[in-house]
Structure 1
Amino acid sequence: MRNSLGALALGVTLLLGLGSAGAADKTYAVVVKAMDNPFFDLVRDGCQKAAKEIDGAECLYIGPSSHTEADQLRIIEDLLSKGVAAMAISPSNAPAVANLLKRRKPDIPVITIDADVLAKDQAVRASYVGTDNYELGVQLAEQLKKAKPGGGTVCLIMGGPAADNINQRAQGSRDVLAGKKGVERLKGEGGWTEIAGCPLYTNDDAALGVQMMADVLTANPTLDAFIAEGGWPQFAPQAYAQLTDQYLDRIKSGKLAMMVADTLPPQIQALKEGRSHVQVGQRPYEMGYRAMFVMHDLVAGKKVDPTVYTGLDTCTAETADTCLKK
């Protein structure tokens, strides 16, 4: 309840500014899944940098204080009622956000950022700016196959069950490990089996992600691999370090493979310390930066690409100092 009230209070505080006399007609809102997720801090930074380069533009960075699907929907509703020039949304619940937009039929440009709506609903948005999520899952799995060509047992770590971007990553990973497309759960295909109790749905909660990993490892001490389709456990770096300290020998020897999405600074440090084997990074700063220009072009009546992929960076311990895009 406290997180929910905090998110709504934040929404009210920010939206009050939209009704002021000085509110810019170039107020572009970026609605994220959770403002306590450090990944989205970089989206915010990119958005704010672009706002300084676009004459008269304002970046309104907003979202629930923590991952709460209902609060995000209320914030979107409030923004549509109060009025902004354009909106970029990272949907926590892809079908629910699409249904809201179908019902409201906004007369402003709406795009998605970081996470998209389902393919059947893409008419509700003008463009998607972010990662090729299926490809991210593919790269994580390809790295795992290199590390463990004989297969084994694996546990996937996810965010929210209705987040389409994470589901796409999981599908990419499963397809690669299985050696064929459309596998809903690995049951020996390609030599890989998903263990009971997985995937883990963290709901973007870093501490919960670490605790879930700990529980899995206690119950499955010979687990061969984790694929974290997002960086959530590593977003709690101290807790993640304390957990991996207990299994560091297995990790460094390669008996327990750790393939993790995202490349925030604490994650690169974990990679250097041998607490993971591969980090496949998105470019959240570029997402926020480019989304602002896409919204600006749409407001100006210009055509934009329906998909703007921002790229990936694959990092290993050997390339950790040089792998990230500058």
Structure 2
Amino acid sequence: MAVTIKDIAKIAGVSYSTVSRSLNNSDLVADETKEKIKSIAGELGFAFNANARSLSTKKTGTIGIIYPESYYIDVFDVNLFYNSLHNQIRRSLEREELDLIIAFPRNRVNGPSSNIERLVKSRKVDGLILVNPALDELDKDALKLMQSNKIPFVFLHHCPDDSRLSEEHNVFATDHFKGGYIATEHLIRYGHKQIACITARESGEEYANRTAGYKAALDAYEIPFNPDIFFNGDRSFQSGYHIIMNTKDKLKKFSAVFAQTDMMALGAIEALKELKVRVPEDIAVVGYDDIEIVNFFKPLLTTVHQPREKIAVLACETLINMMKGNKQKRRNVLVDPILIRRESCGSRLQY
């Protein structure tokens, strides 16, 4: 026979309503009592009915996460980063016993409808985390719908492409300008003046900011920008590889490479190896992201670490407070990235 709230109430010596409030984390019940009741429920194997909770509290206990289409179409290079970010989001929400629904901007089967609008209208979520920079008019209409329905949301990792949205809403992202700057400055301080750069210009504002940081570091050290050693890739291992192989006649024009993703950096290193160019002795390489896979390649990649855990925790904490109705100021947070020194730039040296 299934365990009921009445069974728990009898053992705990409290009313049915106290048990219900405790299992719903109501502030009307003392923490000590809530913990006692939850402990009894756990020992008895009691599973609280989520549908019943939704009817009584008008809460689903579920958060929606909107990822960009590039994650949906299973692009390996992109997914490595988003998988790591998602793990951080999941940890933060599971600590609060919140469930997750993963969705994408569009329904690719039933037409170009907004999944944000669908989630809001069907009342499937209590809040949304938007990991997507490109918002078109359908998305903006959906955001208005969320506001009118008082569904809290935050932007994570990507700053919205509409600056007004950044000014009006909570945004948590990495400071990519600083990331580009510290990667380039690191190479300069090792004595490099001719630093090639491989960007992914068409992949979003974050890459434009990394490039701006790269150029700012050159300027700060009075090194002229050389467009002849500035290359456009597509974030992938293959693009880093082919850029080096297709420009091997220019290798003597630079002594270092700043690749704006780790996968492009690894591709560049592979090409340099095939061309019998030593890394870092002949050409130093710095990447960006610090994805886990870099630990399986030699030489170990010096890279810019994106603070995935920190921005995920900040975004989830803010969203949860908004869902609880706690008043707070709008937060637009750019978190500093960190340079991780390894072998590919001659990390055994000191400056």
TM normalised by structure 2 equals: 0.65
Shift of the alpha carbon at 1:261?
A: 0.8
Partner letter of residue 339 of structure 2?
Answer: T
- Aligned residue for 1:113? 156
Shift of the alpha carbon at 1:311?
A: 3.9
- Aligned residue for 1:258? 285
Going from structure 1 to structure 2, the CA distance change for 1:177 and 1:63 (only over 3 Å counts) comes to: farther
Shift of the alpha carbon at 1:77?
A: 4.9
Q: Is 1:313 the counterpart of 2:338 in the alignment?
A: yes
Counterpart Cα distance in 2 of 1:63 and 1:309: 24
- Aligned residue for 1:50? 92
- Aligned residue for 1:145? 188
Going from structure 1 to structure 2, the CA distance change for 1:179 and 1:313 (only over 3 Å counts) comes to: closer
Counterpart Cα distance in 2 of 1:201 and 1:81: 40
Q: Is 1:301 the counterpart of 2:301 in the alignment?
A: no
Shift of the alpha carbon at 1:280?
A: 1.1
Shift of the alpha carbon at 1:32?
A: 2.7
Answer yes or no: is the 8 Å Cα contact 1:112–1:128 preserved in 2.
yes
Q: Is 1:26 the counterpart of 2:64 in the alignment?
A: no
Counterpart Cα distance in 2 of 1:76 and 1:200: 33
- Per-residue Cα deviation, 1:215-262 (whole angstroms, up to 9, x for no partner): 44335332423222232325xx6x666434225634221x42312112
Counterpart Cα distance in 1 of 2:105 and 2:239: 19
Q: Is 1:191 the counterpart of 2:224 in the alignment?
A: yes
Counterpart Cα distance in 2 of 1:139 and 1:232: 19
Instruction: For structure 1, list consecutive stretches of 5 or more residues without a partner in the other structure.
Output: 1-19, 181-188, 321-326
**Which stretch shifts more, 136-145 or 104-113?**
104-113
Answer yes or no: is the 8 Å Cα contact 1:244–1:275 preserved in 2.
no
Answer yes or no: is the 8 Å Cα contact 1:155–1:195 preserved in 2.
no
- Aligned residue for 2:132? 91
- Aligned residue for 1:284? 308
Answer yes or no: is the 8 Å Cα contact 2:269–2:279 preserved in 1.
no
Answer yes or no: is the 8 Å Cα contact 1:72–1:92 preserved in 2.
no
Out of 290, 294, 309, the position equivalent to 1:267 is 294
- Aligned residue for 2:44? none
Counterpart Cα distance in 2 of 1:252 and 1:318: 7
Counterpart Cα distance in 1 of 2:340 and 2:153: 33
Counterpart Cα distance in 2 of 1:158 and 1:130: 18
RMSD value over aligned CA atoms? 3.6
Higher relative contact order (CA 8 A, sep 6+): 1
Shift of the alpha carbon at 1:76?
A: 4.0
Q: What SS does structure 2 have at the residue aligned with 1:252?
A: coil
Q: What SS does structure 1 have at the residue aligned with 2:239?
A: helix
- Aligned residue for 1:222? 252
TM normalised by structure 1 equals: 0.69
Answer yes or no: is the 8 Å Cα contact 1:63–1:72 preserved in 2.
no
Shift of the alpha carbon at 1:58?
A: 1.6
Counterpart Cα distance in 1 of 2:276 and 2:115: 42
Counterpart Cα distance in 2 of 1:244 and 1:82: 53
Pairs aligned (count)? 273
Going from structure 1 to structure 2, the CA distance change for 1:145 and 1:305 (only over 3 Å counts) comes to: farther
Seq. identity, %: 13
- Aligned residue for 1:157? 199
Counterpart Cα distance in 2 of 1:207 and 1:119: 30
- Aligned residue for 1:176? 217
Q: What SS does structure 2 have at the residue aligned with 1:192?
A: coil
Going from structure 1 to structure 2, the CA distance change for 1:242 and 1:122 (only over 3 Å counts) comes to: same
Task: Provide runs of 4+ in structure 1 moved above 6 Å.
Answer: none
Answer yes or no: is the 8 Å Cα contact 1:114–1:165 preserved in 2.
no
Q: What SS does structure 1 have at the residue aligned with 2:169?
A: coil
Q: What SS does structure 2 have at the residue aligned with 1:191?
A: coil
Counterpart Cα distance in 1 of 2:201 and 2:117: 23
Out of 213, 232, 239, the position equivalent to 1:209 is 239
- Aligned residue for 2:24? none
